[in-house]
Structure 1
Amino acid sequence: MTYRDAGVDIDAGNALVERIKPLVKRSFRPEVMGGLGGFGALFDLSGKYKEPVLVSGTDGVGTKLKLAQQLGRHDTIGIDLVGMCVNDVLVQGAEPLFFLDYFATGKLDIETTVAVVGGIAKGCELSGCALIGGETAEMPDMYAPGEYDLAGFTVGAVEKSQMLDGSAVRDGDVLIGLASSGAHSNGYSLIRRIYDRAGRPGSLDLGGGVTLEDALMAPTTLYVKPILELLRTHGAGAGKPIHAMAHITGGGLTENIIRVVPDGLGLDIDASSWTFPPLFQWLQTEGAVADSEMWRTFNCGIGFVLIASQDSVAALEASLDTAGIGHWQIGKVVPAGTGERVKIG
């Protein structure tokens, strides 16, 4: 017997590597040493930082994968994978340097895999992050036909003196919410349940020619380049305009922002300060989802949050306007009460 008889096609794996090489190469930075295919990926960090702190992150895209496979839309799920990782390390002020991916399937379909990895490469390119390596695993009997799994890993760096840890947050600071592109990659177990119960109306027009399927599969917004530029222009930390940042993922607005707020302080969020995007309106109505459940499950249109000093808000918003990023003042930091630290109303 051969390995191919057992369900693993080494030749297909080699063909895949050749197909994705040009896609991956477009994401390379000058610090990348060598090419794709070595036992280990090399990245030269010398000369770029004085006191570098490395910030690492890993994530997946949850059950949005199931929807991508169900709908046959594989070209942007890789952008989601990158976004979930690089937006996380960005919170501490880190520039994502390089990215690695893990792709596992029962039987390798080269066209599907190229589409997925192409999305990963595109996400890295848009984030200025090198796709420096990864692993493609063909594992018969582990996955049903047509199924695959994804995981991503990133390493970023930030000067020690410029690292954000939330310690600079003060009473009276303003929350500036940045627009999301949709549900990003969170809450999809509930989304799929609502979608199935509604009869999978993918062609439903949510307005402006955007279908429900398009809205559900919209890739995660990559905040890296505009936020890094904002940090360079305005500064962050104690005595600087930006005191902390938060990536709104699982746990939604209720549980993510408070993670970077010191004990003794809370958040007062004004839900009327921005308009619920049509996708979230449809999900809440169709699923009869309570407000509290919406807040802690979805980003509800706010994908990233800046916590900034009150006197710097106008300048920061002007820079966000220049960058073309939708934004709203969504609340303030307040003294923590005796009950919940996060009030949304």
Structure 2
Amino acid sequence: MAGKLTAETKHELSKNICDFIQNGRQQLFRIAIDDLGLRLQVKLNMVPHGLYIILNSPETYNLSLLNSDFLYIVSNISVTQLKVLEHLYDKNIRTMKQSLGTLKTFSVNCNRLQQTCKYLAPFLFTTYGSVLASSYIGQNNKVSPEALVWLLDGLNSDISSSRLKLASVFYSTGNMEKAEVILRHIEQQYYSYPVVAICECWRTPPPAVTAEFKRVCSEQSVDCIKHITAFCVRFIKVEINCVPHELQYEMFRSTQDDMIHRDKIEDFWMNLAIVDSLPFLYFLLYKIYRHLQRQQDQQQAISKLIRTIATDKNLGHRETALNILGQCMEQENRPQQALKCYLLSLQQRARNNAANFHICKLLFGVLAGQ
């Protein structure tokens, strides 16, 4: 190399070599070729092996292929998010933080696995923030500053799901005003873009899309995820204190007989409380306005919830939307309409459906009141 390097290049090389000598271990961890740095961290137990397997799977790599079909990419984001939630499902808070801290590190870099984390990480930051918030709410009905930091880090996952979780946290602590501001912002954004609901919890047909949605996808990069997609909202059981009690029933949807008909892998999502974004938005608005005694706004919210369930073809959890609508009808003292909602829910999903519990509870209440 004699005579081939400029003085400027020599100075840069000298600086890099000195940095490597002083911080050799960290430099090794940053080697992107063949994901060598990541695999070294796994070998040293710095990265949980289960999380590495998920993020290293071939379908996860496709998240970073900007020339891939947009719906295929967002579908894989949804599937991978569910896989990571399954990995974290029975872990303690410390283990969750270690795993998601790894994701946070990767999400700011640019190799193909790290590019994957860029799109996946915000969903999981929101989950961890919600887990922390649930722990604090259970103790003193407050949200810790650390929980808020994680929740805010995840806000730009998509147009709605992470913001809905933040609104649900505020609702759960009684901060109705902050929750309403967030929900109103979501609703405004939702109708400013050609938004499509995304759900890959179970085998559903590909979402119906408009010509405007296709145009936006063709003109922009995958970064437009945060403007034109609305993922379903997923809560694991350790988030339960951030979940409205009407939705908590979904975590316990299965009877012993139902469990026989569940696949341990394919039906993992049934352990979670999951609801589509737009129905959850109007449900939360209904609950907030009911609490604030704003009758007109309350009725508008429930009307929008009814219309969404009836007209949105892309709902992945229509049965859950019907279940929360039925409970709203009960609170409106309309038991016949509530029963109709639960029966329609059972038409959508006969087994592993919390509607069975709601019907028993409703009929018991009616008989007890006679």
User: Common fold, TM-score beyond 0.5?
Assistant: no
- TM-score, normalization by structure 2: 0.28
- TM-score, normalization by structure 1: 0.29
Greater per-residue helix proportion: 2
Structure number with bigger Rg: 2
Say which structure, 1 or 2, has more relative contact order (CA 8 Å, 6+ apart): 1
